[in-house]
């Protein structure tokens, strides 16, 4: 029987960051965090997901100064509010029969 090694949390994080270099994977990853039901939301999850995407872009040398500034502002806002504004917008749109979809700009 073949020996199987479970990945360590460090190797999983490395794998995650590597996969988030792909814009479609990054969009889907953030999208999942935005679609969490209210009881599944934790303020740190969205912040962590955004940080992981930013880290992947930094490793690819693919993050503009403008994006860095927006990320810093958004991270500060999320740390203070837990993302309540974002989730309220999503719930409002859902009540209207819409949902937000993240797709790469090409």
pLDDT in tens, 51-102: 999 999 999 999 999 999 999 999 999 999 888 888 889 999 999 999 888 9
What is the domain range of residue 66? 16-96
State the pTM of this model: 0.82
In a domain, 25, yes or no: yes
Residues 6+ positions from 24 with CB-CB distance below 8 Å: 104
In a domain, 71, yes or no: yes
Q: Give SS3 for 54.
A: helix
In a domain, 102, yes or no: no
pLDDT in tens, 2-28: 565 555 667 899 999 999 999 999 999
Contacts 24+ apart (CB under 8 A), 79-88: 79/43, 79/47, 82/43, 83/41, 83/43, 83/46, 83/47, 86/34, 86/46, 87/34, 87/38, 87/41
In a domain, 92, yes or no: yes
């Amino acid at each position: 029987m073949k020996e199987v090694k479970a990945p360590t949390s460090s190797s999983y994080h490395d794998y995650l960051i590597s996969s988030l270099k792909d814009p479609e994977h990054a969009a889907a990853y953030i999208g999942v965090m935005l679609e969490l039901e209210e009881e599944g939301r934790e303020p740190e999850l969205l912040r962590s997901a955004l940080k992981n995407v930013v880290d992947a872009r930094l490793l690819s040398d693919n993050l503009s100064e403008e994006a860095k500034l927006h990320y810093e502002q958004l991270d500060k806002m999320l740390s203070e509010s837990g993302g309540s504004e974002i989730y309220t917008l999503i719930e409002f749109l859902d009540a209207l029969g819409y949902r937000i979809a993240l797709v790469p700009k090409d």
